[in-house]
Structure 1
Amino acid sequence: MTQVDEKLEPILAEVLHRNAGEAEFHQAVREVFESLGRVVAKHPAYTDQALIERICEPERQIIFRVPWVDDSGQVQINRGFRVQFNSALGPYKGGIRFHPSVNLGIIKFLGFEQTFKNALTGLPIGGGKGGADFNPRGRSDGEVMRFCQSFMTELHRHIGEYIDVPAGDIGVGGREIGYMFGQYKRLTNRYEAGVLTGKGLVYGGSRARKEATGYGTVYFVERMLATRGADLEGKRVVVSGSGNVALYAMEKIIAYGGIVVACSDSSGYIVDENGVDLELVKMIKEVRRERISEYSRLKGTGAHYIENGSIWDVPCEVAIPSATQNELDGKDARTLVKNGVMAVSEGANMPCTPEAVQVFQAANVLFAPGKAANAGGVATSALEMQQNASRDSWSFERTEERLADIMRDIHDTCARTADEYGAPGNYVLGANIAGFVRVAEAMRALGVI
């Protein structure tokens, strides 16, 4: 494990002590701290006025009860969260996740990561995250609507286009955003389009928003590969997951001439050596909402399904983990390296364990951390806010062009920062330092708040 600079060790120890039992949050904080030794050596002022401690402490943490009635008339209780982490650069911005695994530690980890991710976009947005331990899978539209309405009945007190602008995440797509926006409008008697992003096009959404995270991840990969005189043309690519990020990462990979040979869901993964039929996957996951195992049955020859195995056993040259945190561990990383992987880009938030990251870096594999590589989604959410504020609607082409520019700038900023701090090619260090410096400079300018 990379060592934390001795000047920062007491600060890290206090942060871990104050947030006991929050493993994912600890992991995210430690990863950033491991990059900051070079910064404080060059700029000692960043250790003044408890600046680093303040960056690690959320500005506000909201936990609330979400009661709702299921289709059988039974009252159900879930727990809702919103962590407003840092607003030095703009209103809090970050998604809402509905999944049984959601707890305060996970939301804090996501909000902490979001703060630096949003800073890397160069857009005026702070960091936040929210969610609930509700599982929309298997629930009727009516049950999902009633849950979303109850969730927003409490959340609406804490958000607004100049305060906090949530979006979607795992378990929260266009359906859920629509129900929450409708309830917000009903409760506030305001058509405040900029309060949520990821909205439908008919009521203030942005073109290219659903594609943005997946597309952006691939733009970053292309830019990374170019530093070694390579591109995606003809490359074998494995993409974990089959949700929004994975689907549109696959779409852009195919557009660049790459060959997606495997994708997955929580039950297992499919392998198609001839290249995954993306339209079939979209039909199974977006239209029918079925398991990925259906792919091999419907496709027939040339495709097979593996239950409960590791998708990272499939040989590839590019890997894009796009499912959930810590899905790719050290053993998986060693398998990928052995099979010839040359680039890994995190489509999800922190999908690679610290050990996996070290394996990739030691093997000189190009590695893009999520806070840089998957920033395209929140960047396009900020573009949606811009369109809402100006009562405008951009074309798909204009929005995608702006997204591509932002992702290229993020890549180049990370690469330039890594060079400046003596670690060429280390995108983890470059992303952490570039994001930290932007937030820290804003906080210093605003005084002790």
Structure 2
Amino acid sequence: MATLNQILKSVIEKNPNEPEFHQAVEEVFDSVLPVLKNQRDYVDARLFERICEPERIVSFRVCWTDDRGQVQVNRGYRVQMNSALGPYKGGLRFHPSVNQSILKFLAFEQIFKNALTGLPLGAGKGGADFDPKGKSDGEVMRFCQAWMMEAYRHIGHFTDVPAGDIGVGEREIGYLFGTYKKIQNEFQGVLTGKGLDWGGSFLRPEATGYGLIHFAHFMLTEVDATLENKVCLVSGAGNVSQFAIEKLLQEGAKVVGFSDSTGFIHDPDGMTEDKLRFLKKIKNGQRKSISAFADNYKSAVFTPAGEKNIWTLPADCAFPCATQNELDENDAKTLQENGLTLLAEGANMPCTPKAINYLQRSKVLYGPGKASNAGGVAVSGLEMTQNRMGRYWSKQDLEKELRIIMKDIHEKCLETIATHGLTDQDYLNAANIGAFEKVANAMNAQGTV
């Protein structure tokens, strides 16, 4: 046991001042500790330590010129975490908060999420401390070109395939892809999330949000319930949130709250397709605060950030889709006391460890992001397949594939619960253990590399 405790201590000591990465590692370690106790060969091969150590981290200077002709300097990254199952795969985040700890945590989470999809995908993550908000299209283009001028050396269709994340949508992917194509003189599927007319896939924008609600559907099916008429909260107002709301409406749920960095909306009448179209217009086209939503609909009330948050609203189901650690233990208690029955993560690690512990103890159905938000990378993997084949599937076919993948992830969790004697509906430990075993076995088979 002393040896097992030393494993976690060693990882933390080797990665000082990286709290987000520590949090992600500690969660998985707690889940897989019983497996490590029973599988001595995993310990002897130091598989947990190897999974925690990135295969490669690339950090580089990004110099670009703003519209005033002044040179700006940012820092770019690519964390190539694990290639045991396939080429590195994971998004790019452009946000002022980006640092090595956050990207390592995201890349670490990506290992297990990608493994659960059943697709041949390794794990990576990258980005820069650049904020696209308030920048002109020309400034964003010049930044993306400068980022790719360095990163192109380290990525490729069979090496590392980045995608979008916070601050990186189809506009940014377009500029990045165009630069890569110009440098390499090759049209290859080196990035996913591309436009439909130039190598992209149907359903990629919808995939994470749709997949999240598919997974919630399967979770509720296990307890003989459905999403119909459930009162729901969805934090965030970006891509994942918008399409989670869209799929919830299709399932007959009532969405009464959503948020962005400026505050949250409470609309007791619930979202409609017309209201959702307006939300997409103000967030995607006009890039405004959601306060504009309340200006347009009398039933909606906007509460500024800092006063209270969206998790104070009563609801049956909650879907945190904004950012890491957005929901703490007090929020979890408030939600549970107000009648919460299910929480599924649309963002990466949006719940603090204490919040997760509370949800698990209170018997709220909890869907961890590794499982519940894997739909985005799943359809990215299908986009890679289409690029290699040189043909494209219909939106209907892709939605069927996405639903099958999310069902398979759910069934893999149930299988792991049964195999390892876990508590019923313990999706957290099931997802961590099932994915860890798959990656660890692949690493063991490939030798000490």
Please give the TM-score of this superposition, normalised by the length of structure 1.
Answer: 0.98
- Alpha-carbon deviations, 1:44-79, whole Å to 9, x = none? 211112221111100000000000000011100000
Equivalent AA in structure 2 for residue 245 of structure 1:
V
Equivalent AA in structure 1 for residue 329 of structure 2:
G
Distance 1:228 1:314 in 2: 24
Instruction: Note the 1:337-356 alignment, pairs <5 A.
Output: 337-356=336-355
Equivalent AA in structure 2 for residue 275 of structure 1:
G
Instruction: Note the 1:110-129 alignment, pairs <5 A.
Output: 110-129=106-125
Instruction: Note the 1:404-415 alignment, pairs <5 A.
Output: 404-415=403-414
Q: CA shift at 1:7, angstroms?
A: 4.3
Task: Please give the secondary structure, in 1, of the residue aligned with 2:69.
Answer: coil
Equivalent AA in structure 1 for residue 318 of structure 2:
A
**1:209 aligned partner:** 204
Contact 1:418 1:426 in 2 (8 A): yes
2:429 aligned with 1:429, yes or no? yes
**1:239 aligned partner:** 234
Distance 2:4 2:378 in 1: 31
Q: CA shift at 1:98, angstroms?
A: 0.2
**1:75 aligned partner:** 71
Distance 2:137 2:150 in 1: 21
Contact 1:35 1:429 in 2 (8 A): yes
Contact 1:241 1:264 in 2 (8 A): yes
Task: Please give the secondary structure, in 1, of the residue aligned with 2:350.
Answer: coil
Task: Please give the secondary structure, in 2, of the residue aligned with 1:195.
Answer: coil
Distance 1:341 1:59 in 2: 41
Equivalent AA in structure 2 for residue 265 of structure 1:
D
Contact 1:329 1:355 in 2 (8 A): yes
Equivalent AA in structure 1 for residue 205 of structure 2:
K
Distance 1:22 1:231 in 2: 40
Equivalent AA in structure 2 for residue 43 of structure 1:
Q
- Alpha-carbon deviations, 1:311-354, whole Å to 9, x = none? 00011000000000000000000000000100000000000000
**1:447 aligned partner:** 447
Distance 2:233 2:168 in 1: 24
Equivalent AA in structure 2 for residue 290 of structure 1:
K
Task: Please give the secondary structure, in 2, of the residue aligned with 1:328.
Answer: coil
Task: Please give the secondary structure, in 1, of the residue aligned with 2:233.
Answer: strand
Please give the TM-score of this superposition, normalised by the length of structure 2.
Answer: 0.98
Task: Please give the secondary structure, in 2, of the residue aligned with 1:68.
Answer: strand
2:363 aligned with 1:367, yes or no? no
**1:96 aligned partner:** 92
Q: Which runs of 4+ in 1 moved over 4 A?
A: none
Instruction: Note the 1:278-427 alignment, pairs <5 A.
Output: 278-299=276-297, 301-308=298-305, 309-423=308-422, 424-427=424-427
Distance 2:418 2:6 in 1: 28
2:35 aligned with 1:44, yes or no? no
Identity %: 55
Task: Please give the secondary structure, in 2, of the residue aligned with 1:118.
Answer: helix
Q: CA shift at 1:286, angstroms?
A: 1.1
Q: Which runs of 5+ in 1 are unaligned?
A: none
Distance 2:60 2:206 in 1: 32
Contact 1:204 1:388 in 2 (8 A): yes
Q: Which runs of 5+ in 2 are unaligned?
A: none
Distance 2:179 2:124 in 1: 21
**1:133 aligned partner:** 129
**1:438 aligned partner:** 438
Aligned residues, how many? 443
1:33 paired residue among 29, 35, 41: 29
Task: Please give the secondary structure, in 1, of the residue aligned with 2:124.
Answer: strand
Supply the RMSD in Å over aligned alpha carbons: 0.8
Q: CA shift at 1:6, angstroms?
A: 5.0
2:224 paired residue among 217, 225, 229: 229
Q: CA shift at 1:43, angstroms?
A: 2.0
**1:270 aligned partner:** 265
